Amino acid sequence: MTVAGIVPDWPQPAHVRAVVSERSGGVSAGQYASLNLGAHVGDLPAAVLENRRRLVRDLKLPSEPAWLDQVHGTRIVDLDAAWSGPADGAVTSRPGVVCAILTADCLPVLLTDREGTRVGAAHGGWRGLAAGVLPEVVAAMGRLPGELLAWLGPAIGPGAYEVGEEVRAAFLARVPDARDAFHANARGRWQADLYALARLSLAGAGVTAVYGGGFCTSTEAERFFSHRREAPCGRMASLIWLNPR
């Protein structure tokens, strides 16, 4: 089976390329079936390597993606310079360098400027969003925020994402308008809308051209891995890069 992916629908320059893998097309088995791209989730290392090889081949990537050690933080690395250590986002201005974010319920956010001179990607779990990972990646883009476009990839939807009061409080302490992204449920907890929280965070950083959203990794089991639904599980990759003009 050939690896397929979701191509973002956004008004990016033609030489800016992006794609999100789905869960089919790989060799992993069980809860990792089949295109698990995460090397940290307990899957067989050989299977992950083969899945990554297929990803590069079938999606015609220009290079091996820059796989990050994601830790639900706010550090963004510039792939055009020497880098190491944990990070939850990456940016580049070099054609052929592929930014990559791994997720299985968390929100991947892809960015470019309107001229297509720079691209970036960030990992938006609730901890990272609450701590400000999106303003950090906007700053790392090094462009006027009004010149940036953002696309929100597959994440757990608000109907499936139940959280406690501590999560809501963490957002309200930073963004008072975030109260509209939480809705009380019958169990005395909250349904959280990661897409709405990301839009608020991006708007606060000056980015208003935001596209995507509307997926639910938890309920779309045939397409996506979901940590909340089936942990341990595999990871999808959200990728963005520049082709030569």
Confidence of residue 175 (pLDDT cuts 50, 70, 90): confident
pLDDT surpassing 90 at residue 2: no
The helix (H) or strand (E) run that includes residue 168 is helix 165-172
pLDDT in tens, 49-64: 999 999 999 999 999 9
Residue type for position 7: V
Residue 77 vs residues 47, 100, 138, 142: alpha-carbon distances, Å: 27, 12, 12, 13
User: For residues 75 and 171, what is the distance between their CA atoms, to the nearest angstrom?
Assistant: 19
Domain regions of the chain by residue span: 5-239
Rounded to 5 degrees, φ, ψ at 100 are -140, 135
pLDDT surpassing 90 at residue 14: yes
Q: What is the pTM of this model?
A: 0.98
Among residues 74, 10, 8, 42, the alpha carbon closest in space to that of 232 is found at 42
Q: So what CATH class is 5-239?
A: alpha beta
Which pLDDT value is given to residue 4? 83
Inter-residue contact 236 to 168 (CB < 8 Å): no
Question: What is the DSSP secondary-structure string of 23-87?
Answer: S-SS---GGGTTT---TTSS--HHHHHHHHHHHHHHTT-SS--B-----SS---EETTS---S--
pLDDT surpassing 90 at residue 41: yes
Share of residues in the chain with pLDDT > 70 (%):
100
pLDDT in tens, 181-237: 999 999 999 999 999 999 999 999 999 999 999 999 999 999 999 999 999 999 999
pLDDT in tens, 107-154: 999 999 999 999 999 999 999 999 999 999 999 999 999 999 999 999
Residue type for position 238: S
Q: Beta strand pairing status for 107-113 and 148-152?
A: antiparallel
A 10 A CB-CB count for 209 gives 16
User: For residues 213 and 137, what is the distance between their CA atoms, to the nearest angstrom?
Assistant: 18
User: What is the CA angle 211-215-221, rounded to 5?
Assistant: 155
- Would you call 162 helix, strand, or coil by DSSP? strand
User: For residues 236 and 138, what is the distance between their CA atoms, to the nearest angstrom?
Assistant: 23
The helix (H) or strand (E) run that includes residue 200 is helix 194-204
